[in-house]
Chain A
Amino acid sequence: MLIGKKSDIIPSEITPQSVYEDRRQFIKAAGFGLLATAAAGYGLLPGHAWAAAEQRRKLTGYNKTAYGADEKLTPYDDVTSYNNYYEFGTSKSDPAEHSKLFKPTPWSVAIEGEVKNPRTVTLEDLLKIAPLEERIYRMRCVEGWSMVIPWIGLPLAQLIKWAEPTANAKFVEFVTLDDSLRMPGARVPILDWPYTEGLRMDEAMNPLTILAAGLYGEVLPNQNGAPLRLVVPWKYGFKGAKAIVKIRFRETMPQTTWVKAGPREYGFYANVNPTVDHPRWTQASERRIGGSVFSPRMKTQMFNGYAEQVAHLYTGMDLRKNF
């Protein structure tokens, strides 16, 4: 497996941020900017694409799977320009704009809590725990829109087996990066940083749950949660913690960021459920991103259409109460 390594020395580590940002701006303004403007002018390059093009890197050595093979993919540009990632700003276009300089390498993840050997694993080693797979999943946001995204990642269950949790481990908590130097949105106390999420152990072990490190055959873009994020396709999108730095096994249910922010509006389970409305908007239907102005909404499916694989996890539970 190869995550297109560019250089061993990371400029951000040896040069103060402000300096290299300025330098970068200068270089862009002086040369590359001119070149790109010319290219854009001649229609060679869309105006906004050149900055992003610097970051796009192919991901090799993953297996295709049958998951979602019949789905129509949401265009790459939509998947990478319409994001909820408050650490980089609260508007949908902020994450793509404000994460351009974010360097997700080097990266490591701490495995903590109820495990035999708490340890820290580098991203490279973590991605070797199991073969990477492409999974095409629907993603339903709690706000009423949805996408179809070809993720690349590994089943969380494989990592959990590797981590060897103790018998006490009933929940998994995901703690994400809280670095206000690198994440302008995290300077604003809009949510209780760091953003944390959690799953019940059986949810985490479900074969659908993955840790994603890529999409569309490429390394995960910063705005989508680089370098490592959670994807739980039968739950609302906010469960998908981005830029994960800690995976903590716990005996008790963890507090999660959105539950803390609005306990009436967001629950721990956050399963996609068309029959339980969000207090402020309907969950019965959704708008699929990538359509035209004249595309109608579509009906939202129970568990986002993954009922067959996950409904058994919730038998006997009142999903109105456990929303």
Chain B
Amino acid sequence: MLPPNRKQLGLIKAGLSLLALVPLARLIWLGMQDDLGANPIEFIERSTGTWALAILLITLSFTPLRLLTGTAWPVQLRRMAGLFMFFYACLHITTYVWLDHWFDWQEIAKDIVKHPYVLVGFTAFVLSVPLALTSSNAMIKRLRQHWKSLHRLVYLVAIFAVLHFWWLVKKDITEPMLYAMVLAALLSIRLIFSLRKRKGQGV
């Protein structure tokens, strides 16, 4: 398949952006119908959190896709995907701080420090802030080789995000396990290819 030209890429991005807004639109729609279930705040928290994690895994899948298939152009969608992950992470944490805890900072601080699943989730969010802030072309130019090292933080963000989900679940870990397996697969592909490359260089 030929890579899309500039115009086609723009269309693909626009289409995917609309698609990425569907989960938010759904929440707003359900909220207006008063159809978010018995515990609407939990529903919003779970939904925005799950979408942030799912989009994060999509963000991490462009490079493995290139390594496995040689199709490089989708990497151009990576920044957009990463920013949508950050968007849902922001909605997630806003729901937590605002709707769930009503800006009770003392309670929130206690919750973060005392409860491991909150701590790793919060850490994942904090680590994703510099990534979102340095995502522009200007910042890429300015940071040069540091940019790549900085953006390796995304692996940590992903691991913490999966842990956050895993530790939150009471007993049935099926769902977090699925995300963990996808993440493990995506990271292994990178690892295998980078080891291979290193070996190749050594010879």
Contact = CB atoms under 8 A, between A and B. Distances in A.
Interface in A262-294: 262, 277, 279-282, 284-285, 287, 289-290, 292-294
Nearest to A281: B115
Interface stretch (A31-39, A86-94, A148-156, A193-201): A86-94
Nearest to B41: A293
Interface of A is mostly: loop
Given A78-B38, A294-B99, A280 B168 contact: yes
- Using C-beta atoms within 8 Å of the partner chain, give the interface range for chain A: 20 to 34
Interface residues of B, number: 26
Contact of A287 (B41, B115, B117): B41
Contacts of A296: 102
A293 B117 contact: no
B114 A277 contact: yes
A92 B37 CA distance: 10
Contact of A280 (B44, B107, B167): B167
Contact of A289 (B39, B114, B116, B171): B39
Contact of B38 (A82, A281, A297): A82
B91 to A, nearest CB: 13
Interface in A217-262: 261-262
Interface in A113-162: 143, 145
Given A261-B171, A280-B117, A293 B44 contact: yes
B171 A293 contact: no
Given A190-B172, A261-B171, A292 B40 contact: yes
B116 A280 contact: yes
B37 A93 contact: yes
A304 B198 CA distance: 61
Contacts of A77: 38
Contacts of A93: 37
Given A81-B37, A287-B100, 13 more contacts: A86-B171, A90-B172, A143-B170, A191-B171, A277-B114, A277-B115, A281-B111, A281-B117, A282-B107, A287-B39, A287-B41, A292-B40, A297-B100
